[in-house]
């Protein structure tokens, strides 16, 4: 049975999943790239971008596990690109080049319709305009029994958490202080929603926390 999971999502010590003032030059906000230094150093991440080498160990194990049994992804529109409002044209094709790292159907939450975008490597972006539950239904159908991974960003994860639709979360606490930005849990009562932390594992460059819905 498909699960809806958050995997390898990095947050700062002060709880931010992205820095302030996101832009084309700083898609994760100012200082936000530092959240992912744990990932960039891993062998898994380097292979994703056609590079050799990289660290093995706990961080790499978690990074690799994040792609196991994933049959579809859900992303917020900001994760797909910096374009706001109605699509002016179809020239923006994502941050990742012609062969994105997903290799499955990806469902992008947006308020503005756009036809599906087929990329190399098995990735097709589908643009969903009728809400998070519709995106989840479509992702489950496409995943064919495998899991659905919510890639972010913060607003998208918060929406699925508040609807109590996420089954489990793997959060990576990076040793970074951002001071401001997009807070992952502000105003969300996780115990009330039924979530609890079941495991914490120190890695090389970050600490891995696993939460499940009871």
Residue boundaries of the structural domains of the chain: 4-213
- Confidence (pTM): 0.95
Strand-pairing partners, residue 200, are 209
The 10s digit of each residue's pLDDT in 1-51 is: 899 999 999 999 999 999 998 888 888 999 999 999 999 999 999 998 889
Q: What is the pLDDT of residues 73-118, one digit of tens each?
A: 999 999 998 888 999 999 999 988 999 999 999 999 999 999 999 9
In whole angstroms, give the CA distance from residue 27 to residue 21.
9
The pLDDT of residue 166 is above 90: yes
Confidence (pLDDT) at 82: 86
Joined together, the tokens standing for residue 160 give 């699925």
Instruction: List the end-to-end C-alpha distance of the chain, in Å, as a whole number.
Output: 16
CATH no., domain 4-213 = 3.40.430.10
């Amino acid at each position: 049975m498909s699960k809806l999971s958050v995997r390898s999502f990095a947050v700062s010590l002060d709880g931010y999943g992205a820095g302030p003032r996101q832009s084309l030059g700083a898609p994760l906000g100012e200082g936000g790239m530092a959240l992912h230094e744990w990932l960039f150093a891993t062998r898994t991440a380097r292979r994703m971008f056609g590079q050799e080498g990289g660290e093995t160990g706990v961080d790499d194990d978690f990074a690799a596990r994040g792609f196991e049994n994933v049959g579809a992804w859900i992303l917020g529109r900001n994760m797909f690109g910096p374009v706001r409002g109605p699509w002016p044209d179809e020239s923006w094709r994502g941050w990742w080049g012609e062969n994105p790292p997903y290799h499955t159907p990806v469902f992008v939450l947006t308020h503005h319709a756009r036809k599906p975008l087929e990329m190399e490597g098995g990735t097709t972006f589908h643009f969903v305009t009728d809400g998070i539950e519709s995106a989840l239904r479509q992702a489950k159908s496409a995943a064919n029994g495998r899991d659905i991974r919510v890639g972010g960003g913060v607003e998208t994860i918060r929406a699925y958490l508040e609807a109590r639709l996420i089954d489990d979360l793997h959060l990576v606490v990076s040793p970074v202080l951002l001071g401001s930005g997009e807070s992952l849990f502000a105003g969300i009562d996780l115990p009330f929603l039924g979530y609890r932390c079941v495991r914490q594992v120190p890695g090389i460059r970050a600490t891995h926390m696993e939460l499940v819905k009871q």
